[in-house]
Amino acid sequence: MSEVANTHGFRMPHGKHRGELLTRVPVSYLRWISNERGHSLQAMAKAELDRRGTTMPTLEISGHAIDRASLNCRKVWHSTANEGEGLHAWLMRMGGEARERGRPCDSDEPGSTRFDYAGLRWVFVEGEEFPVLKTVMPR
């Protein structure tokens, strides 16, 4: 069994929260660090998330993807949304379905994967722990 990092008293050495105690850093920032491949503080971020009992998401939705979907994919959203399902919940569900059932297509961006699903093109970047939906657009 591997030893878990002790996050008590650890201060962020750099970045947006430089000087803050790791125990005070927002969950969203810790999730971001833990999902960045090769980040120097990845193990500490994961240990702090574990200490807090925070579960990792199965998919992250970028602000850009939410903006693009709200502007360009409303018809598909409204025609495929479950009752009472908002845009973010719909992107989470449909993004997962796109990865499972969608048709993979070529990507001109290194590190990204693209799927055609439900009349849309879904673009993901693979993180260390979970994928990130970068954008969604009509095909």
- State whether 76 and 118 are in the same domain: yes
Report the pLDDT value the prediction gives residue 1, as an integer from 0 to 100: 42
Distance CA 125, CA 114 (A): 9
- State whether 67 and 48 are in the same domain: no
Q: What is the CATH number of the domain that holds 88?
A: 3.30.2310.20
- State whether 110 and 49 are in the same domain: no
- State whether 12 and 78 are in the same domain: no
pTM (2 decimals)? 0.72
- State whether 43 and 71 are in the same domain: no
- State whether 82 and 51 are in the same domain: no
Using one digit for the tens of pLDDT, what is the confidence trace for 19-57? Answer: 999 999 998 899 999 998 899 999 999 999 999 888 777
Can you give the three-state secondary structure of the chain, one letter per residue?
Answer: CCCCCCCCCCECCCCCCCCCEHHHCCHHHHHHHHHCCCCCCHHHHHHHHHHHCCCCCCCEECHHHHHHHHHHCHHHHHHHCCCCCCHHHHHHHHHHHHHHHCEEECCCCCCEEEEEECCEEEEEEECCCCEEEEEEEEC
- State whether 132 and 81 are in the same domain: yes
Place of tokens 């009509």: 138
- State whether 44 and 90 are in the same domain: no
- State whether 9 and 77 are in the same domain: no
Using one digit for the tens of pLDDT, what is the confidence trace for 85-98? Answer: 999 999 999 999 99
Domain of 21 in residue numbering reads as 1-55
